[in-house]
């Protein structure tokens, strides 16, 4: 435990990613990979099914530039779950399925509530 945060050494976190509020209450599953420049707020859980002895490994991938707001839950009940780059998970949302890029997901269970406009370069 570091600052009330469960952060196993197997978790991969990209550069520029911030665990806000000193990581207060954040719980990350060992099979989690978080991209670059993400924002993860207090009391977020990114977790999976049981991958104890004999169980299948669980993989949760969070893309780049993802915002996961306070109290959100990203729960994987299968072998893998992906949050697309540029997505936002609203406060207290419960996500149990893959999330495409550049959308806002909210509610219980989590549903797409907005598609973000992307900037053309």
- Tell me the per-residue pLDDT of 54-79, one tens digit each, with 9 for 90 and over: 566 789 999 999 999 999 999 987 88
29 is a catalytic site residue: yes
Digit-coded pLDDT (tens) for 6-37: 899 999 999 999 999 988 999 999 989 999 99
Query: Do 27 and 49 meet the contact criterion of CB atoms below 8 Å apart?
Result: no
CA-closest candidate to residue 59, choices 70, 37, 42, 74: 74
Look at residue 2 in the predicted model and tell me its pLDDT.
Answer: 47
Q: Which SS3 state, helix, strand or coil, does residue 95 take? A: strand
Say which residue the tokens 């002895």 belong to: 53
What are the boundaries of each domain within the chain? 12-115
Q: What is the pTM of this model?
A: 0.89
Exposed e or buried b per residue across 76-111, where buried means at least 16 C-beta atoms within 10 angstroms of its C-beta: beeeebbbbbbbbbbeebbbeeebebbbbbbeeebe
Which CATH superfamily, name and number, covers 12-115? Hexapeptide repeat proteins (2.160.10.10)
Catalytic-labelled residue, pool 21, 29, 50, 65: 29
């Amino acid at each position: 435990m570091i600052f009330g945060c469960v952060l196993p050494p197997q978790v991969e976190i990209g550069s520029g990613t911030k665990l806000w509020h000193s990581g207060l209450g954040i719980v990350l599953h060992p099979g989690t990979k978080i991209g670059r420049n993400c924002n993860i707020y207090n009391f977020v859980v990114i977790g999976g099914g049981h991958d104890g002895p004999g169980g299948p490994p669980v993989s949760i991938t969070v893309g780049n530039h993802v915002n996961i707001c306070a109290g959100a839950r990203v729960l994987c009940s299968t072998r893998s779950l992906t949050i697309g780059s540029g997505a936002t998970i609203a406060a207290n949302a419960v996500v149990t399925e893959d999330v495409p890029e550049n959308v806002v997901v909210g509610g219980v269970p989590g549903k797409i509530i907005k598609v973000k406009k992307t900037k053309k370069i």
